[in-house]
Amino acid sequence: MLRIANHAAALDNCLRYFQSAVETLYEKTIVDTLETINATEAARIEFDVCRHELEALHSQATASPTAIHVAGEKATVQRDKYERLKDDVRVKLRLLEENRIKVMTKQLERLQTALAAYFSGNAELLAVAIEELRSLNVPNSSLLL
C-alpha cells in the first residue's frame, strides 16, 4: 500500500511539473507575444494619425513650413516605432512556434513516460522519471488544490 502511495505521489509530481511547464509557456511567452501585437496595433494607429495630420497640413495653403516639418518628423518617428514593433512580432511569432513545439514535445514525452510507468507498475521507470523531474523545479503539492 505504501508503494502505491509513493507511486501516486510521484505521478502527482509529474503532472504538476507538466502543468507548470504549460503555464510558463502560456504566461511568459504567449502573453508577451500578444502584448507586443497589441503594442504594434497601437503604434499603427498612432502612425496613421500622424500621417493624416501631415497630409492635412500639406493640403492647407496657410500651413507653415515649420509645422509641416515637425509633423513630418513626428510621422517618421511613429513609422519607425511601428516598423520596429512589426519586426519584433515576426521574430516572437517564429520563436513562439519553435519553442511551443519543443516544449510541448519534451513535456508530453515526460508525461507519457511517467504515466506508462505508473500504470504498468514499473517502479524503476517511474523512479527514472522522478529523478529527471527532481533536477527541475517542481511546484509543491497543496491540500487546497
Whether the CB-CB separation of 128 and 3 falls below 8 Å is answered with: no
On whether the 2-134 domain is CATH 1.20.272.10, my answer is: no
Separation of alpha carbons 49 and 106, rounded Å? 46
User: What's this model's pTM, rounded to 2 decimal places?
Assistant: 0.66
**Model confidence band, residue 77 (pLDDT cutoffs 50, 70, 90):** very high
CA distances from 117 to 5, 10, 22, 49 (A): 14, 10, 22, 61
Which is higher by pLDDT, 70 or 121?
70
Which is higher by pLDDT, 16 or 126?
16
Determine the length of the chain: 145
Separation of alpha carbons 43 and 78, rounded Å? 7
